[in-house]
Amino acid sequence: MTLRALARKAPSWLWPGTLASQLIVLLLLAIVVAQALSIWIFADERRIALVAAARDSLLSRAVSLAELMEDTPPALQDRILEASSSRFAVFWLGESPLAPEPGSSGFEKRLQGYMARGLEHGQVVHLNIHADEKRGPRRWDTDEHDHPNFRAVPRKERPQNLRKVMNKPEDLSVSIRMTDGRWLNTATSYRPPASALIPLLVQPALTALLSIVIIGVAVRRVTRPLKDLAACAERFGRGEEQAPLTPSGPREVRALTSAFNDMRDRLTRFVRDRTRMLAAISHDLRTPITSLRLRAEFIDDEENREKVIETLDEMAAMTEAALRFARDEAHAEKAENADLGAILEALASDQQDFGKECAVEVDERIVLPCRPVALKRAFRNLIENGIRYGEDVSVHVSRQGTEAVIRVCDTGPGIPEDRLKDVFEPFVRLEESRSEDTGGIGLGLAITRSIIHGHGGRIALNNRPDGGLEAEVRLPLWWPAP
């Protein structure tokens, strides 16, 4: 399974969303897995090496002591052996061997051969290895619980610290027959060093810490211009004037920023040219329409005169609406914080002054960044459409997560399901599904949708189950900081 598939299946709280966090998590996983495998493979190497070195050292010391004892007066032998002993190894001379028989395993034979080659007098070597890490501490109260080789040593020959040495997880017993018939006995215990957990954890912890710092600095250098680019694109999409971004960061990010600046300039020029062209056409049409209306007054046929004048009036209204729309686009309003409930209540109050039924219900006070005049125009279009076709209009305002939800409901005949999206297109009128006395020219909902989208919001129309139409508007409660 790929990392992408794992990320999809992981809970949202477990898999971070930012690029820096994802890189850090993936790197930490790689470090943990690599260190865990390394510890699993190499953790025992140090212990094995130390044990092997200790064995070799003690065996060499036993061989040296055996040679030294051959040339040392008996009065000094005990003092030398006592000085050579430690808490891990005990040396003494006795009449019986600690290891009664030579070792039979291949490893024991190799060690016995190694020691025999170091002995110049041809002494016999017995070596027994007793490694049983699973056995626990023994009781030394009676001989029945003693080490197997410990029973072979007469009590009078046992050194004081022999029991302590033989009561260890790993035991090595060595007996070297001296030329005088006595045995140089060596009892050793190899205790592996304690598990060095802290040193094993310090290295991965330092590696992870340095990796997090390095990745954080590197990713911040990449993501900071990307965040600025995303915020600028969001504001530009709402129609705000934006200064060109200064390219920064890696070469690829600088190239992306430059491409965005070029695209922004081209789109701005394109929209301005089309807006100016629309305004110029609408303005120039006013004169011929007025001239045609004056000429229509001289038509003798009254019926034809009225139809021509009605058509010319409709053309004049369309021209004025297009010109007004172009002016609004050409003079963008600056954004500011506004009380959404206050805007809607003011619109409802205006309708109530004209004797219309319009009620506003606000669950809580919502202040959001917007262009108040433009937003007021958008909601005025929705409310007036609802009153025109349904008489009674109710407006409900609520907060859902990071969005403000505004529902404008009327009691009219509604719209056919297959035409719900068509009404947002410019100059589209649905007289066959609504009232014949529609008024307007079909630009109201197009302008409304343009304004809502310019605020980063969404608008949708739905037929209510109990009759009437519902316009649902969703506006974000925040905009990216400039």
* pLDDT tens series, the chain, 482 aa: 454 554 455 455 555 666 667 777 777 788 778 777 776 766 556 556 655 665 667 788 888 888 888 888 888 888 888 888 877 788 888 888 888 888 888 878 888 888 888 888 788 889 887 754 443 433 333 343 455 555 556 665 666 556 655 555 556 788 999 888 889 888 877 555 555 566 667 777 787 788 778 877 777 777 788 888 888 887 777 666 778 888 887 788 888 888 988 888 888 787 777 777 777 777 777 778 888 878 888 787 888 888 888 888 777 777 776 666 666 654 556 778 899 999 999 999 888 888 888 999 998 999 988 888 888 888 998 998 888 887 789 999 999 988 999 999 998 888 888 888 778 776 666 654 433 344 455 667 888 888 888 788 889 999 988 888 899 999 988 755 44
14 in any annotated domain: no
Q: Does residue 411 lie within any of the structural domains? A: yes
User: Which among 326, 315, 312, 377 is positioned nearest to 347, based on CA atoms?
Assistant: 377
What is the structure's pLDDT at 251? Answer: 84
Residues 343 and 461 in one domain: yes
147 plus 280 within the same structural domain: no
Is the same domain home to 453 and 368? yes
Q: What are phi and psi of 14, to 5 degrees?
A: -90, -30
Please give the tally of structural domains in the chain.
Answer: 3
pLDDT value of position 474: 93
Determine contact, residues 434/412, Cβ cutoff 8 Å: yes
The rounded distance, in Å, linking the Cα atoms of 408 and 448 is 13
pLDDT of residue 324: 67
pLDDT, residue 406, reads: 93
Reported pTM? 0.48
Whether residue 294 is found in the same domain as residue 362: no
CATH label of the domain that carries residue 461: 3.30.565.10
Whether residues 303 and 350 fall in one domain = no
The Cα–Cα gap between 101 and 153 comes to: 13
For every residue of 38-78, DSSP letters joined together read HHHHHHHHHHHHHHHHHHHHHHHHHHHHHHHHHTS-HHHHH
- Both 365 and 303 in a single domain? no
Taking CA atoms, 103 is separated from 130, 217, 219, in Å, by: 11, 63, 64
Q: Quick one: 345 and 414 in the same domain? A: yes
Q: Are both 151 and 245 inside the same structural domain?
A: no
pLDDT of the residue at 408: 93
> Which residue type occupies 399?
R
Greatest distance between any 2 Cα atoms in the chain: 156
Per-residue model confidence (pLDDT) at position 167: 54
Is 423 part of a structural domain of the chain? yes
Does 59 map to a domain? no
Distances (CA, A) of 398 to 212, 342, 362: 42, 13, 6
Contacts 24+ apart (CB under 8 A), 273-276: 275/326, 275/329, 275/330, 276/326, 276/330
Q: Where does a domain end: 153, 171, 189?
A: 189
Last residue of a domain, which of 163, 189, 215? 189
Does 19 reside within a domain?
A: no
- Owning domain of residue 85: 72-189
* Strand ranges for 334-421 from DSSP E: 336-339, 357-362, 367-370, 392-400, 403-410
Distance of CA 106 to the CA centre of its chain: 57
Q: 357 - beta bridge partners?
A: 392
Does 144 lie in the same domain as 185? yes
Query: Residue 124: inside a domain, yes or no?
Result: yes
My answer on whether 346 and 392 are in the same domain is: yes
- Residue 398 to residue 389: CA distance in whole angstroms: 25
**What pLDDT, on a 0 to 100 scale, did the predictor assign at position 434?**
39
Q: Is residue 278 part of a domain?
A: yes
* 338 and 465 belong to one structural domain: yes
Separation in Å, CA 63 to CA 72, 109, 114, 119, 126: 14, 16, 10, 6, 12
Q: Is residue 22 part of a domain?
A: no
87 and 154, same domain (yes or no): yes
- Domain boundary pick from 189, 220, 248: 189
Please tell me the total number of residues recorded for the chain in this structure. Answer: 482
pLDDT of the residue at 396 = 94
Give the pLDDT confidence score for residue 11 in this predicted structure: 53
